[in-house]
Structure 1
């Protein structure tokens, strides 16, 4: 069983990681501070402890990955969250991105479709540090209409197209950040809801995410 310790060495490696993603173009100091404050090695199997602060994705089981820190920072920066906003995250995975958002002082509603990953996260001691995260087992394509509308929506898996139901759950003035594309490479989009059925879309860099799938998996 993992012992949740954060050594001086790990803190030093984390600072180097933050410096590297700053050099890659991340400018939001709040996002960089959040990455620096969260021990990424807690979210991985102990076998990855020696490489947990390399800027790359790693497997977490069930065909899923913990995203590359640069990607987490990039999406978080595009989302432009403000304290106390309500943010819907599609794809909890390891909960690393959810914790980064919570570190930015927002209220996170996060959905995971893989029951095994959902159960693992529910038992994850570190999440108690962030009481503003609420975890749900469900279909990301459906969102959480009971808790809508949301200030922001963040999708951490590749959608073949923009899910209409998630757009409907945004507040007017709200934003969604989502990688869209059915192939191995997706384009990062930021969509702003400017009216009840009116949206503005911005296009950013290419990324590679695991696919966003519908339904729940037990």
Structure 2
């Protein structure tokens, strides 16, 4: 399946100077140097305007390989982390239906939406979700369904999912989410307390859950409830 093209006719989407295509190309070169190999992921990050997912005052830093604040105590993840999580999610097969827990700025969701048929995303902070929805519309990403809810509950009415990505760290894997994974599906999530978090990939197999530790990471905590 080819990468879905985002709407790029508007000048603010194309970018200028520190948000231009040249800046994006430099980021891709850095990600390749750090070990990202999946061409589909690299092409997606090359075309997606990350500067639209952060505050205008931080736009000049959009294509640095660093996490940036988005308000409400949340961050937009480091591009390397976004690329790596996406790469390991689609490594064995390109999923058709993906559930994302933690919409945040919407950037990771937009990356997924350019690669798969349908993304379902859940965010507990209403303000962040409303901002993300505006960005999705601006980019013409019409294969995203979003929900304001407690992400730890998943989206049971739409389960099962071929893949699930969690973008905040719980102290352990949520059984509620694992139960919404289709046979043969894969879940990628950071797990652990601050300072001791690990990125895990869990696959549903005929022999049960296959669990891999991929890397040490640092994410905001996975919280319950809605605000």
TM category (shorter chain) comes to: over 0.9
- CA distance in structure 2 between the partners assigned to 1:144 and 1:211 by the alignment: 19
Question: CA RMSD of the aligned region, Å?
Answer: 1.8
CA deviation digits over 1:160-184, x for unaligned, max 9?
A: 0000000000001000001110122
- CA distance in structure 2 between the partners assigned to 1:130 and 1:122 by the alignment: 10
Residue pairs, 1:105-120, within 5 angstroms = 105-120=116-131
Residue pairs, 1:201-216, within 5 angstroms = 201-216=211-226
Cα deviation, residue 83, structure 1: 5.1
Structure 1 residues 45, 168: closer, same or farther in 2, change over 3 A? same
Aligned to 1:145: 156
Structure 1 residues 143, 187: closer, same or farther in 2, change over 3 A? same
CA deviation digits over 1:14-53, x for unaligned, max 9?
A: 0100110111011111001000010110111111121111
Q: Structure 1-normalised TM-score? A: 0.93
SS class of match (1:213): coil
- CA distance in structure 1 between the partners assigned to 2:163 and 2:136 by the alignment: 26
Length, aligned pairs only: 215
- Is contact 2:95-2:163 (8 Å) kept? no
The unaligned stretches of length 5 or more in structure 2 are 1-10
- Is contact 1:43-1:94 (8 Å) kept? yes
Cα deviation, residue 136, structure 1: 0.7
The unaligned stretches of length 5 or more in structure 1 are none
Q: Structure 2-normalised TM-score? A: 0.89
Runs of at least 4 residues of structure 1 off by over 6 A?
A: none
Partner residue of 2:88 out of 64, 78, 90? 78
Partner residue of 1:167 out of 178, 185, 202? 178
Greater mean alpha carbon deviation, residues 75-84 or residues 186-195: 75-84
Aligned to 2:32: 22
